Amino acid sequence: MRVLLLFLILALAAPAPAQVRYPEVRPGVLLRFPADHGAHPAFRIEWWYVTGWLTGEDGRERGFQVTFFRTRPGVGEANPSALAPRQILFAHAGLSDPAVGRLLHDQRAARAGLGLAGARVGDLDVAVRDWRLRLLPGNRMVATITAREFALDLAFRPTQPILLQGKRGYSQKGPRPDQASYYYSVPQLAVSGAVEQGGRRVGVTGRAWLDREWSSTLLARAAAGWDWAGLNMDDGAALTAFRVRDRSGRSIWAGGSFRHRDGQLTELGPDDVRFAALRRWRSPRTGGIYPIEQLITVRLPDGLRRYPLRPLFADQELDGRVLGLPVYWEGAVRTVGGRGYLELTGYAGNLRL
């Protein structure tokens, strides 16, 4: 559950033009692969979100994030122009290098069409100009990203089956059943490739996580922000946990899943997930105060399990204000016996929904 502001404005805040009807997300729809890796252009929003930890030949650990968003703003659908903004794509990439001490990030945006940007239906292939994420034959996913301060050239190989979140892919995001999305993840992706920084190319290997969601209505009106974490456990298990907060910081909704290394999947409901702040960090840039160390408590069939999260480093804040994008924290975190990513939105006070 990860979104950018402009994207949100386009996709959600704008009242949908009357003549545009978006499909609803309903439980009981069977997801098929590889077709559902591809785009679902009828839905209002959709994303491909890859996060993970890399270990370089130079011995350094880095976190990375590669995200592609697709939205259907409901504009220009009757316009035969090749430039009509029927589908809009955003991409976002970040690199957390403790040697730098802050998040390196860059973005791309474009309307789909004319071969310059697009999200293919029926197969995973999304591109915004020179950035691209696609599935190659042999079930290998590759990402090529050339950002201002770094470049990523990564290949991802699944080591586990696809993880359908919620009820077989139907994931409720609010108290109402229509506040939901189709949601699946692929945890424990084996990563290989290279990171380029300052003209220097470093071979890397690591573990990553793919999140896929598409929906037309997502959040409750009262939502002010959310916390999300996806953790690849060293023993092969995978934990997903999220909560939606209201303005006072209380949870409106929560959920997630835990897949045991033996493959047994436990769906987590609103009462099964608790987030508690252990340490807060104040951004010198934006003044936002983020709970960058958290204790996630989940109720599993064998009892409560606690996952304390510690960031790779504190300043993994993403300040996109100059480009009209939101301020949020998206960082590589460690936990006992595992590593993953934590996303914190709505803490810098300017996330208008």
Partner 1 sequence: MDRLAGAGATLAFRWLLWGEWRRHPGRVVLGVLAIAVGVALGFAVHLINGSALASFDRAVRGVNGSADLQVRAASRLGMPDAAYPRAAVVGGVVDASPVVELPAFVRGERLTLLGLDVFRAGAVTPSLVGVPAEGQEAAVFAEDAVFLSRGTQAALGARAGEEIVLAANGRTARLRVAGAMPGVDDDRRLAAMDVAAAQLRFGRLGRLDRVDLKLAANADPGQVRAALTAALPSGATLSSADAAAESGDALSRAYRVNLSMLAMVALLTGGFLVYSAQELSVARRLRSFALLRTLGLPRRGIIAQVAVEGLALGMIGAVLGLAGGYGLALLALRLLGGDLGGGYFQAAAPVPVFAPGAALFFLALGITAALGGSILPARAAARAAPAVALKNAGDVIDPRSPAPWRLALLLFVGGAWAAFLPAIGGLPLFGYLSIALLLAGGIALMPWLARALLDPLSRRSIRVPAVDLAVRRLRGAPGQAAVALCGIVASTALMIAMATMVASFRGAVDDWLGQVLVADLYLRLEGGGSLDPAAQAQLAAAPGVARIDFGRQSPVLLDPARPPVTLIVRPISPAAAQGTLPLLTPVAPAPLGAIAVWVSEPAARLYDLEPGEPLALPLGGRGARFVVAAVWRDYARQHGSIVIDGADYDRLTGDLGRDEAAVLLRPDASRVAAREALLARLLPELRTTAAMAEPQQLRRLALTLFDRSFAVTYVLEAVAILVGLAGVAATVSAQTVARAREFGMLRHIGMGRRSVLLMLGNEGALLGLVGGVAGVLLGLVLARVLISVVNPQSFNWTMATLVPWGLLAGVVVALVAAAAGTAVLAGRRATAQDALLSVREDW
Distance separating alpha carbons of residues 61 and 56, to the nearest angstrom = 6
User: Is residue 85 near partner 1 by the rule CB under 8 A?
Assistant: yes
Q: Which of residues 290-329 bind partner 1 (CB under 8 A)?
A: 323
Looking at the Cβ atoms of 107 and 335, the one nearer to partner 1 is 107
Looking at the Cβ atoms of 32 and 221, the one nearer to partner 1 is 221
Among 88, 231, 332, 342, binds partner 1 (CB under 8 A): 88
Least Å from the CB of residue 155 to partner 1? 24
Q: Which of residues 12-51 bind partner 1 (CB under 8 A)?
A: 13-15
Looking at the Cβ atoms of 30 and 78, the one nearer to partner 1 is 78
Stretch that binds partner 1, among 5-13, 151-159, 220-228, 290-298 (CB under 8 A): 5-13
Looking at the Cβ atoms of 150 and 183, the one nearer to partner 1 is 150
Least Å from the CB of residue 142 to partner 1? 20
Dihedral sign computed on CA atoms, order 155, 158, 159, 164: positive
Distance separating alpha carbons of residues 23 and 237, to the nearest angstrom = 33
Among 73, 169, 174, 311, binds partner 1 (CB under 8 A): 73
Looking at the Cβ atoms of 60 and 132, the one nearer to partner 1 is 132
Please list, residue by residue across 48-77, b when 16 or more beta carbons sit within 10 angstroms of its beta carbon and e when fewer do: bbbbbbbebeeeebbbbbbbbbbbbbbbee
Stretch that binds partner 1, among 57-65, 78-86, 155-163, 237-245 (CB under 8 A): 78-86
Distance separating alpha carbons of residues 102 and 98, to the nearest angstrom = 7
First to last CA, the chain: 14
Least Å from the CB of residue 76 to partner 1? 5
3-class secondary structure, 274: strand
Which amino acid, residue 272?
D
Q: Report which of 200, 307, 230 is spatially closest to residue 67, judged by C-alpha positions.
A: 230
Least Å from the CB of residue 230 to partner 1? 29
- What is the DSSP code (8-state) at residue 222? T
Among 27, 76, 270, 308, binds partner 1 (CB under 8 A): 76
- Tokens of residue 280, six digits: 């807060």
Stretch that binds partner 1, among 6-14, 51-59, 172-180, 209-217 (CB under 8 A): 6-14
Least Å from the CB of residue 39 to partner 1? 18
Dihedral sign computed on CA atoms, order 117, 202, 105, 312: positive
Least Å from the CB of residue 119 to partner 1? 15
Distance separating alpha carbons of residues 344 and 229, to the nearest angstrom = 9
Q: Which of residues 98-157 bind partner 1 (CB under 8 A)?
A: 109-111, 114-116, 129
Number of residues located near partner 1, criterion CB under 8 A: 24
Least Å from the CB of residue 43 to partner 1? 17
Distance separating alpha carbons of residues 325 and 109, to the nearest angstrom = 11
Please list, residue by residue across 15-38, b when 16 or more beta carbons sit within 10 angstroms of its beta carbon and e when fewer do: ebeeeeebeebeeeeebeeeebbb
| Binding interface with partner 1 (CB under 8 A) | 9-10, 13-15, 73, 75-76, 79-85, 88, 109-111, 114-116, 129, 323
